[in-house]
Structure 1
Amino acid sequence: MGSGGPYLNKKALLSPLGAARLCQLAMGCAVVAMVTHSAGYSGSHGVFCMAAWCFCFAMSVLVFFLDATRLHGYLPVSWDNLTVTCAAFATLLYVTASVVYPLFFVRSECPYAGCDVRDFRIAVTVCSILGTLAYGAEVVLCRARPGQIVVGYMATVSGLLKVVQGFVACIIFGALANGSQYYQYAATIYCVVVYAFCFALTTVVVIMTVCRRTKAVRCMPFDRFVVVCTLLEVLLYLSASVVWPVFCFDTKYGSPFRPSSCPWGKCPWDSKVVVAVFSFVNFGLYLVDLIYSQRIRFVSSQVSTNSRI
């Protein structure tokens, strides 16, 4: 901004995107205040929900402040890519917390602390759902549309899928750490290596995009590099999606049925099921990502060809 110009960005307030971010701040503040005041939380599930809400609220405060003051221009990052990535990740965290919190803390009958606690927990759930919608609205507002000039890769469907893939991988890692006994066979260890490698590769693509390092790949264009990485991830996840269930649920290596003596919440069989299910989910996400990346590249080629004519 030149000398004498406004230092504050009015669009941070007077725009649909600004309204969505203000709603994020309001819902985040309300959730954190009610949980700490009376609703309460306990155990690993409650700690996760509280950590998710606090992280998203702090992130929203920082994004709103930098956008309103235009200070993001001094950061060595692609602001559009960074904000849509944060919004997509926050949406996933809020969705998870909006399901986990009422599942473990909201009951139809009043708890020992009285009906006020139950009412506060219901209000927390409602505000969390509204916060999910607010973050989702930002993703929709920032998402690239057909025929629109793409400002950043993370605003495309392929870029947003990268965030979802990373989030699903985190769920897989959580299940692996929860007594999955993956170390029993070399084949299951191979699957863990696949999950870690694909997560690292996806993270590298996101970081390169956000940090404006897309020209760091000198051997090929960045869009081709992303397609090659996605194809590799599809093949690796396909192998893991086949190997993991075989070595976990086949009668030769494991059990196809849940053991009756296995305690709820600490059963290795449950963790193995979670890993198997989300392996298929991530395989599908990577496959859709690969197909969509090819489609985008084809459209871009056609547009550039027509422009030369």
Structure 2
Amino acid sequence: MSTRRTSPSSEGILWVFWLLHLPQLCSTCVAFSLVANMDTLRGAIGNWSMSFWCVCFAMTFIIALVECCRHPSSFPFLWYNISVTYACYAALICLSASIIYSITYVQFVPYGPYRDRAITATAFSCIASVLYVIEVAGIWDCYELKEIFFYVHTRRSLLKVLETFVAGVIFAFLSNTSLYLHQLALEWCVAVYSICFIPAAVVLLLDLAEWKYMLPGPFSIFQLVLSLLSVLFYISALVLWPLYQFSEELGGQPQRPSDGDCRDKLTYNMCAWDQRLAVAVLTAANLLVYVADLGYWARQVSVGTEDQPRDSQEVYSPNSDIL
């Protein structure tokens, strides 16, 4: 017996989206504009944060336009999976920009109008991250998830979002190639981040579009092997990166220098030692996420099930009644 799926009216959802999208656009735009007007005092961290806020503004604007123009019955599940996934990433992006910008830049700006602008930009970035979290929670609450299966509602999806996001932040710090090009072991660490990021991103896209059913073998076995390899690779990176970056015997620098870009004052570039430490911390954090992912898929293989809608094992088909 088929279950009739229900959803809120398109007009109601549209108003909810606009009530969130408009302040999201305003918050990211204000944060971007305030930092852009700082001219030469903007620094590399300011440029990096601006790029994040600009991407969030542009993507939110595009999603808002699509919501206004598309018909409610047009690719409903794929679209909302994509929009919720973007909101998750946007929340993490704005939160990371707020933390990194305030810790590495705002506290060193001299007191005055520029410091006030930097603090205000950080505040609006925090507001934007909260608004994106509200959007994710709002979409989950608006739709009856017991009847409609959303990929991003599952634990495995949140783990993939975290894995790819943390890897993206690591890549941002690794834009300074002088951190690793002088040692083969450090180059291997960079290769690990790339090797693990690409399959995680591909799996995320496959599951978003529900293409996992096209794979030749069981999806849970594939994920278990992939997670196990990623854990092993990240363990090697967690050992080698700190060893070659902070061990004096291997050419590393155990303590933070007090000259160059690492002085306790405003500088254009982020301290290279701080970047090394950030990559080490993020490597450990992503290893924990991959271990959680490995534990999840080991349990799925042992039980022989995967995440399904809580009240229905029914897989969505295009011909089913959704309204």
Which TM-score tier does this pair reach, normalised by the shorter chain?
0.7 to 0.9
Deviation at 1:164, TM superposition (A): 1.9
Distance change (3 Å), C-alpha of 1:33 and 1:42: closer
2:230 to 225, 228, 233: 233
Alignment-derived partner of residue 57 in structure 2: 57
The superposition leaves residues 251-276 of structure 1 with CA deviations (integer Å, 9 ceiling, x where unpaired) of 43123622647621566544332222
Identify the match of residue 289 of structure 1 among 288, 293, 310.
Answer: 293
Give me the whole-angstrom Cα distance separating, in 2, the residues matched to 1:291 and 1:249.
31
Aligned match of 1:86:
86
Shift of the 31–255 alpha-carbon distance from structure 1 to 2, 3 Å rule, reads closer
Aligned equivalent of 2:207? 209
Q: How many residues align?
A: 292
Displacement of 1:200 in angstroms is: 0.8
Are 2:188 and 1:190 equivalent residues in the alignment? yes
Maintained 8 Å contact 2:28/2:125? yes
Aligned to 2:154: 156
Distance 1:234 1:130 in 2: 34
CA distance in 1, matches of 2:186, 2:251: 12
Paired with 1:60 and 1:237, the residues of 2 have a C-alpha distance of 33
Distance (Å, rounded) in 2 between the aligned partners of 1:251 and 1:143? 51
Q: Distance in 1 between matches of 2:134 and 2:166?
A: 21
Q: Distance in 1 between matches of 2:255 and 2:108?
A: 27
- Normalising by structure 1, what TM-score? 0.78
The structure-2 alpha-carbon separation of the partners of 1:131 and 1:67, relative to structure 1 and needing over 3 Å to count, comes to same
Q: Which amino acid aligns with 1:59?
A: M
Q: Which moves more between the two structures, 53-62 or 224-233?
A: 224-233
2:243 is matched with 246
2-structure distance, mates of 1:88, 1:259: 34
Pairwise CA distance, 1:133: 0.3
Gaps of 5+ in 2: 1-8, 263-268, 314-323
Give TM-score, length-normalised by structure 2: 0.75
- Higher RCO (C-alpha under 8 Å, 6+ residues apart): 2
Unaligned runs of 5+ in 1: 1-7
CA contact (8 A) 1:175 1:275 kept: yes
* Deviation, structure 1 residue 142: 4.3
How many percent of aligned residue pairs carry the same amino acid? Answer: 30
Using the TM superposition, give the Cα deviation of residue 231 of structure 1 relative to its aligned residue in structure 2, in angstroms: 2.0
The one-letter amino acid paired with 2:150 is: G
* Equivalent residue number for residue 224 of structure 1: 221
1:142-179 Cα deviation digits (max 9, x unpaired): 4599x835623233232122122212112222333324
1:32-181 to structure 2, matched below 5 A, reads 32-36=32-36, 42-70=42-70, 78-103=78-103, 104-105=105-106, 110-111=111-112, 115=113, 117-142=114-139, 148-149=146-147, 151-181=149-179
Q: 2:316: which partner in 1?
A: none
* C-alpha spacing 1:140/1:256, structure 2 compared with 1 (3 Å): same
Are the aligned partners of 1:88 and 1:139 in contact in 2 as well (CA < 8 Å)? yes
